[in-house]
Chains A and B, each alone.
Chain A
Amino acid sequence: MFEKIFQFEVFNNNDLLSVIGLIFGILTFASLLFFAIGKIKPEWNISELKSRTRSWWVMSFIFIIATMFSNTISYIAIAFLSFVAFRELYSILGFRDSDRYAILWAYFSIPIQYFLAYIGWYGAFIIFIPVIMFLLIPLRLVLKGDTKGIIKSMSSIHWILMLTVFGLSHMAYFLSLPEIPGFENGGRGLLLFLVFLTEINDVLQFTFGKIFGKRKIIPSISPNKTWEGFIGGLICTTFIGYFISFLTPLSTFEVLFASFMIAFAGFSGDLVMSSIKRDIGVKDTSTAIPGHGGILDRIDSLSFTAPAFFHFIYYLAY
């Protein structure tokens, strides 16, 4: 039973171990750097960076424990992430009282979607939210009989589902992909590749933007998104993707393209979430992660990069 749930082959896999080591190496470097800056230049206010780094430590630990040791726990953990993200977005968007039951149905679709990923039923997994929930949510709303503002509810509920459940559930489906002969890292390797590149891209775009940022891309949406940050992140992420390409079964050219795509999709996700926050007039979606804001502020890019990278690799390798 224990061996069935927990797998410790990650300790025999040097590819996975070296990337996990790289993650903690970067975190150690960042912590030491900010500690030194705090001592040498106390007048620079870097408390936000420090709390961001602390949160990165916590998130990295949780991610690695949740995804590297047990497949069963991974599905549950990613499903829970979807649930929290869904709840966060639902709570800030503002719905009518009569939308409660449709929202409840949407909540129930989360375990179903992840169960479909768990049993590896690809056909159902890929249409459940885009097709079935797309039809069921309006039906539930109509049955309630409140038509004032029903279009907004129909579209926003489905849109939240696509962003927080459908997009993120691709992370879980990596673990259900069949084994490819000669490629040992499997779904875990691909998942680590995706999440590491997405998050490092966020960090790099943030860093380049802070240091070199001058020309704003879309000032009406976010003053922090600059061409310098975007291009710096794009180039570095593509470069890093090339270096950890051993996690994937892709050729050099394909891995460069995939990394470039992750950087671009991550940027888009970030931008889309910023525009929503602009629309409803909040700075962060909640205060769940110190220094970062809400869960959504952290996973906005993942919900774009996960399906993009998944379908790229699914087409090429599976």
Chain B
Amino acid sequence: MQKYILQFIYSFVLRIFLKLIVGVKFDDASFLEKEEQFVILSNHNSHLDTLSIMASLPSSIIERVKPVAAGDYFGRNKLVSWFSRFFINAVLLERNGVSKQSKGSPLAVIEKAIDEGYSLILFPEGTRGQPEKMKTLKRGIGIVLSKNKHVKYVPVYLDGMGKNLPKGETLIVPYNAKIKYGTPKTVVSDDSKEIMTQIEHDILTLKAELH
């Protein structure tokens, strides 16, 4: 049931809305259907980022791709948390270290989702930043990837989303935006710092290709 609702929302309604009204130019992501398990890593400027990436996915794999969302916002109460899990298909992550409810590392929820075979959408910057500027990447996903070498990562660059709906604003002002996919890559290094440097480089390469 959830699968069909997600397909209807993202692959149909939101895709048309984002394409026609907001002005998002989607990249071809059909190659993801062939990938077993992957983590999409992207820069983060806007609430539209997650929605756009979800809408760009091939509809057949949409329910096995879970966006990692901030638990303190998207899980701030039971209703919001249910809504995020059902309609955004989200994995809720506690951002501020170890919180009251979760036991152990905040990465545990990500590792659990990976173990269950889900693919993920994650913004390694941790939070939405200024348009066109990238913050230092958080190392968490590097640690997870170094332990799960069978999971590939897919770098994605989102251009112009922060102009459409910047942080702190509630209204969308349409602006031609783009999603650019890079090729899936396997992690070789065991050092999470080295992995993150490589990921940052991959995302910035995509940015350079666009401009």
Contact = CB atoms under 8 A, between A and B. Distances in A.
Interface stretch (A15-23, A68-76, A84-92, A248-256): A84-92
A103 B172 CA distance: 11
Contact of B173 (A84, A92, A107): A107
Interface string B9-24: 0000000000010010
A160 B169 CA distance: 24
Nearest to B160: A91
A212 to B, nearest CB: 36
B160 A100 contact: no
B174 interface: yes
B169 A91 contact: no
B49 to A, nearest CB: 17
B171 interface: yes
Contact of B166 (A97, A103, A287): A97
B169 A87 contact: no
Given A97-B166, A287-B25, A87 B171 contact: no
A107 B173 CA distance: 8
Given A97-B166, A287-B25, A91 B173 contact: no
Given A87-B23, A97-B166, A104 B176 contact: no
Given A87-B23, A287-B25, A100 B176 contact: no
Contacts of A100: 166, 169, 171, 173
Given A97-B166, A287-B25, A88 B173 contact: no
A188 B182 CA distance: 47
Contacts of B175: 87, 90-91
A107 B164 CA distance: 13
A60 to B, nearest CB: 21
Nearest to B177: A91
Contacts of A84: 23
Interface in B135-172: 160, 163, 166, 169, 171
A294 to B, nearest CB: 9
B176 A91 contact: yes
A84 to B, nearest CB: 8
Given A107-B174, A287-B25, 11 more contacts: A80-B20, A83-B174, A87-B174, A91-B160, A91-B176, A92-B176, A97-B166, A100-B169, A103-B173, A104-B173, A107-B173
Interface of B: 20, 23, 25, 160, 163, 166, 169, 171, 173-176
Interface of A: 80, 83-84, 87-88, 90-92, 97, 100, 103-104, 107, 286-287
Q: Which 6 A-B pairs have the closest CB atoms?
A: A91-B176, A87-B174, A100-B173, A104-B173, A87-B23, A91-B175
